């Protein structure tokens, strides 16, 4: 018998990723004074993290990952991959990857809400 998907831990993780993406967008990426601080080359340790986040959405890495994970989860019906697509899709929507992230997010959510397979004949 397939295991049921637990929605509470998924909702908590989704909320934490959403909050972290909002923090990254509004506190690390958009402020111009932080951009000037990090561009000088002598910024704090998290300037490398800021650059990695900017590169992930400027080169469509995040959106591409979400879309590939959503397609793979749809084809393979792997719930864990669908959950990864949904979580990364939320981060992608916040971090400027609208089209690919929305598509991957929806594909992942469709796999998650689909009921599991049932036996053809009751035993």
Q: What is the DSSP string of 78-95?
A: -HHHHHHHHHHHHHHHHT
pLDDT at 74: 94
Q: Is 31 exposed, middle or buried (0-12, 13-18, 19+ CB in 10 A)?
A: exposed
Whether the pLDDT of residue 59 is over 80: the answer is yes
Q: What is the mean pLDDT of the segment spanning 100-104?
A: 94
Structural domain spans, the chain: 7-34+45-113
Q: What is the mean pLDDT of the segment spanning 31-45?
A: 85
pLDDT at 38: 87
Q: For 3-26, how does the pLDDT look when each residue is reduced to its tens digit (9 = 90+)?
A: 666 778 888 999 999 999 999 999
Asked which of 20-24, 41-45, 104-108 is least confident by mean pLDDT, the reply is: 41-45
Average pLDDT, the chain: 87
- Contact between residue 26 and residue 96 where contact means Cβ atoms under 8 Å apart: no
pTM greater than the 0.85 cutoff: no
């Amino acid at each position: 018998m397939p295991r049921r998907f637990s929605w509470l831990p998924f909702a908590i993780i989704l909320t934490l990723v959403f909050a972290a993406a909002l923090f990254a967008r509004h506190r690390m990426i958009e402020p111009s004074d932080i951009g000037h601080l990090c561009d000088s080359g002598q910024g704090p340790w998290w300037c490398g993290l800021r650059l990695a986040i900017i590169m992930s959405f400027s080169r469509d890495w995040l959106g591409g990952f979400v879309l590939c994970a959503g397609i793979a989860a749809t084809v393979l019906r792997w719930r864990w991959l669908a959950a990864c697509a949904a979580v990364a899709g939320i981060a992608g929507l916040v971090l400027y990857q609208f089209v690919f992230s929305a598509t991957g997010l929806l594909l992942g959510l469709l796999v998650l809400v689909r009921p599991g397979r049932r036996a053809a004949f009751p035993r």
